[in-house]
Amino acid sequence: MSIGIGVIGAGVMGSDHARLIRSHVSGAQLVAVADADPARAREAAGDARVDTDPLKLIDSSDIQAVIIASPDHTHGDFVLAAIHAGKHVLCEKPLAATSEDCLRIIDAERKAGLKLVHTGYMRRYDPTYRELKATLRAGALGKIRILHNQHRNRAAPDWFTADMAVTNSFVHEIDISRWLLGTEFKAVTVVAFTSDRPEAAADPLLITLEAENGAIVSTEVFLNAGYGYHVHAEAVCERGGVRMGQPALTSVLYEGSDRAAFPANWIPRFADAYRLQDQAWVNAIRGGSLDANASSSWDGYMASYIAEKTLEALKTGRRIALQVPQQTG
Amino acid sequence: MSIGIGVIGAGVMGSDHARLIRSHVSGAQLVAVADADPARAREAAGDARVDTDPLKLIDSSDIQAVIIASPDHTHGDFVLAAIHAGKHVLCEKPLAATSEDCLRIIDAERKAGLKLVHTGYMRRYDPTYRELKATLRAGALGKIRILHNQHRNRAAPDWFTADMAVTNSFVHEIDISRWLLGTEFKAVTVVAFTSDRPEAAADPLLITLEAENGAIVSTEVFLNAGYGYHVHAEAVCERGGVRMGQPALTSVLYEGSDRAAFPANWIPRFADAYRLQDQAWVNAIRGGSLDANASSSWDGYMASYIAEKTLEALKTGRRIALQVPQQTG
Amino acid sequence: MSIGIGVIGAGVMGSDHARLIRSHVSGAQLVAVADADPARAREAAGDARVDTDPLKLIDSSDIQAVIIASPDHTHGDFVLAAIHAGKHVLCEKPLAATSEDCLRIIDAERKAGLKLVHTGYMRRYDPTYRELKATLRAGALGKIRILHNQHRNRAAPDWFTADMAVTNSFVHEIDISRWLLGTEFKAVTVVAFTSDRPEAAADPLLITLEAENGAIVSTEVFLNAGYGYHVHAEAVCERGGVRMGQPALTSVLYEGSDRAAFPANWIPRFADAYRLQDQAWVNAIRGGSLDANASSSWDGYMASYIAEKTLEALKTGRRIALQVPQQTG
Amino acid sequence: MSIGIGVIGAGVMGSDHARLIRSHVSGAQLVAVADADPARAREAAGDARVDTDPLKLIDSSDIQAVIIASPDHTHGDFVLAAIHAGKHVLCEKPLAATSEDCLRIIDAERKAGLKLVHTGYMRRYDPTYRELKATLRAGALGKIRILHNQHRNRAAPDWFTADMAVTNSFVHEIDISRWLLGTEFKAVTVVAFTSDRPEAAADPLLITLEAENGAIVSTEVFLNAGYGYHVHAEAVCERGGVRMGQPALTSVLYEGSDRAAFPANWIPRFADAYRLQDQAWVNAIRGGSLDANASSSWDGYMASYIAEKTLEALKTGRRIALQVPQQTG
- Residue B83: CA atoms inside 13 Å, Cβ hemisphere, count? 24
Instruction: Read off the pLDDT of each residue in D267-288 and give the average, rounded to a whole number.
Output: 96
Helix (H, G, I), strand (E, B) or coil at D248: coil
- C278 backbone dihedrals φ, ψ, rounded to 5°: -65, -40
Averaged confidence pLDDT in chain B: 95
A198 touches chain D (CB under 8 A): no
Contact B112, B86 (CB under 8 A): yes
Chains that touch A (3 or more CB pairs under 8 A): B, C, D
> Which ipTM value was assigned to this complex?
0.95
Helix axes A297-316, A171-181, angle to 10 degrees: 120
Give the other-Cβ count within 10 Å of B60's Cβ. 17
The whole-angstrom separation of Cα A291 and Cα D31 is: 80
Nearest to D216 among B152, B193, B215 (CB): B193
A214 touches chain C (CB under 8 A): yes
Q: Which residue of D has its CA nearest to B198?
A: D214
Nearest to C262 among B246, B258, B264 (CB): B258
The whole-angstrom separation of Cα B95 and Cα B108 is: 13
The whole-angstrom separation of Cα C190 and Cα D119 is: 57
Nearest to A257 among D225, D256, D261 (CB): D261
Chain B residues lying within 8 Å of A239, measured CB to CB: 254
Inter-chain contact B241–D220, Cβ cutoff 8 Å?
no
**Is pLDDT at C329 greater than 60 in this prediction?**
no
CA angle B158, B163, B168 (to 5 degrees): 85
The confidence score (pLDDT) of residue C36 equals 94
The confidence score (pLDDT) of residue B296 equals 98
Strands across the sheet with C28-34, in order? C49-51, C28-34, C3-8, C65-68, C88-91, C117-119
Enter the DSSP assignment of D262.
P
Q: How far is C13 from chain A (nearest CA, A)?
A: 28
Residue A43 pLDDT level (bands cut at 50, 70, 90): very high
Chains that touch D (3 or more CB pairs under 8 A): A, B, C
Q: How far is B319 from chain D (nearest CA, A)?
A: 9
Residue D199 pLDDT level (bands cut at 50, 70, 90): low
Q: What is the dihedral of CA D10, D11, D15, D18, to 10 degrees?
A: -40
Q: What is the pLDDT of residues B135-169, one digit of tens each?
A: 999 999 999 999 999 999 999 988 888 899 999 99
Residue D311 pLDDT level (bands cut at 50, 70, 90): very high
Inter-chain contact B236–D220, Cβ cutoff 8 Å?
yes
Inter-chain contact C206–A152, Cβ cutoff 8 Å?
no
The whole-angstrom separation of Cα A241 and Cα A259 is: 25
Give start and end residues of each alpha helix (H) in chain D.
12-23, 38-45, 54-59, 75-84, 99-112, 127-138, 162-164, 171-181, 266-269, 271-286, 297-316
Q: What is the pLDDT of residues B273-319, one digit of tens each?
A: 999 999 999 999 999 999 999 999 999 999 999 999 999 999 999 99
Q: Among C247, C239, C251, C245, which Cα is nearest to C263's?
A: C247
The strand pairing partners of B208, in sequence order, are B189, B218
Instruction: Read off the pLDDT of each residue in D184-204 and give the average, rounded to a whole number.
Output: 87
- The residues in A 226-255 lying below 8 A from C, measured between CB atoms, are 226-227, 236-241
Chain D residues lying within 8 Å of A258, measured CB to CB: 246, 248, 259-260, 262
Q: Among A203, A206, A90, which Cα is nearest to A157's?
A: A203
Inter-chain contact B262–C258, Cβ cutoff 8 Å?
yes
The confidence score (pLDDT) of residue D328 equals 56
Q: What is the 3-state secondary structure (H, E, C) of B210-237?
A: EECCCCEEEEEEECCCCCCCEEEEEEEE
The confidence score (pLDDT) of residue D161 equals 85
Q: How far is D198 from chain B (nearest CA, A)?
A: 12
Helix (H, G, I), strand (E, B) or coil at B108: helix
**Is pLDDT at C153 greater than 70 in this prediction?**
yes
Per-residue pLDDT of chain B (329 residues; tens, 9 = 90+): 699 999 999 999 999 999 999 999 999 999 999 999 999 999 999 999 999 999 999 999 999 999 999 999 999 999 999 999 999 999 999 999 999 999 999 999 999 999 999 999 999 999 999 999 999 999 999 999 999 999 999 999 888 888 999 999 999 999 999 999 999 999 999 999 987 776 677 899 999 999 999 999 999 999 999 999 999 999 999 999 999 998 799 999 999 999 999 999 999 999 999 999 999 999 999 999 999 999 999 999 999 999 999 999 999 999 999 998 766 54
Give start and end residues of each alpha helix (H) in chain C.
12-23, 38-45, 54-59, 75-84, 99-112, 127-138, 162-164, 171-181, 266-269, 271-286, 297-316
The whole-angstrom separation of Cα B225 and Cα B169 is: 14
The strand pairing partners of A192, in sequence order, are A205
Q: How far is C192 from chain B (nearest CA, A)?
A: 22
Inter-chain contact D257–A228, Cβ cutoff 8 Å?
yes
Chain B residues lying within 8 Å of D241, measured CB to CB: 225, 227
Q: What is the pLDDT of residues C166-212, one digit of tens each?
A: 999 999 999 999 999 999 999 999 999 987 776 677 899 999 999 99
Residues 6 or more apart whose CB falls under 8 angstroms from that of C81 comprise C54, C55, C58
Helix (H) or strand (E) holding B107: helix B99-112
- The residues in B 116-145 lying below 8 A from D, measured between CB atoms, are 142, 145
Q: What is the pLDDT of residues C77-102, one digit of tens each?
A: 999 999 999 999 999 999 999 999 99
Chain B residues lying within 8 Å of D237, measured CB to CB: 226
Residues 6 or more apart whose CB falls under 8 angstroms from that of A113 comprise none
Q: What is the pLDDT of residues C317-328, one digit of tens each?
A: 999 999 987 665
C218 touches chain A (CB under 8 A): yes
C2 touches chain D (CB under 8 A): no
Q: Among D139, D217, D228, which Cα is nearest to D176's?
A: D217
Helix (H) or strand (E) holding C192: strand C185-192
- How do A257-261 and A144-152 pair as beta strands? unpaired
A152 touches chain C (CB under 8 A): yes
Q: What is the pLDDT of residues D209-241, one digit of tens each?
A: 999 999 999 999 999 999 999 999 999 999 999
Inter-chain contact C27–D24, Cβ cutoff 8 Å?
no
The confidence score (pLDDT) of residue C290 equals 96
Chain D residues lying within 8 Å of C276, measured CB to CB: none
Which amino acid would we find at residue D76?
G
The whole-angstrom separation of Cα D259 and Cα C226 is: 30
The confidence score (pLDDT) of residue B327 equals 64
Residues 6 or more apart whose CB falls under 8 angstroms from that of A153 comprise A169, A222, A223, A224, A225, A229, A265
C107 touches chain A (CB under 8 A): no
The whole-angstrom separation of Cα D152 and Cα B216 is: 16
Q: Among A297, A126, A313, which Cα is nearest to A210's?
A: A313
The whole-angstrom separation of Cα A182 and Cα A302 is: 13
Inter-chain contact C131–D250, Cβ cutoff 8 Å?
yes
**Is pLDDT at A212 greater than 90 in this prediction?**
yes
- The residues in A 278-317 lying below 8 A from B, measured between CB atoms, are 279, 283
Inter-chain contact D146–B220, Cβ cutoff 8 Å?
yes
The whole-angstrom separation of Cα C20 and Cα C7 is: 11
Chain D residues lying within 8 Å of A261, measured CB to CB: 256-257
The confidence score (pLDDT) of residue C131 equals 97
CA dist list (Å): B127 to A22, B131, B155, B277, B303: 21, 6, 25, 11, 21
Contact C310, C175 (CB under 8 A): no
Q: Is B249 exposed, middle or buried (0-12, 13-18, 19+ CB in 10 A)?
A: middle
- The residues in C 45-104 lying below 8 A from D, measured between CB atoms, are none
Helix (H, G, I), strand (E, B) or coil at D238: coil
The whole-angstrom separation of Cα C86 and Cα C118 is: 14
- Calculate what percentage of chain D has a pLDDT beyond 90: 92
Q: How far is A11 from chain D (nearest CA, A)?
A: 26
CA dist list (Å): A285 to A14, A292, C249: 19, 11, 51
For chain A, helix (H) and strand (E) counts, in that order, are 11, 15
Chain D residues lying within 8 Å of A230, measured CB to CB: 253
Chain A residues lying within 8 Å of B240, measured CB to CB: 252-255
Residue D1 pLDDT level (bands cut at 50, 70, 90): low
Q: How far is B26 from chain A (nearest CA, A)?
A: 5
Q: How far is D216 from chain B (nearest CA, A)?
A: 6
Cβ-based contacts under 8 A for chains A and D? 49
Inter-chain contact C262–B260, Cβ cutoff 8 Å?
no
Residue A328 pLDDT level (bands cut at 50, 70, 90): low
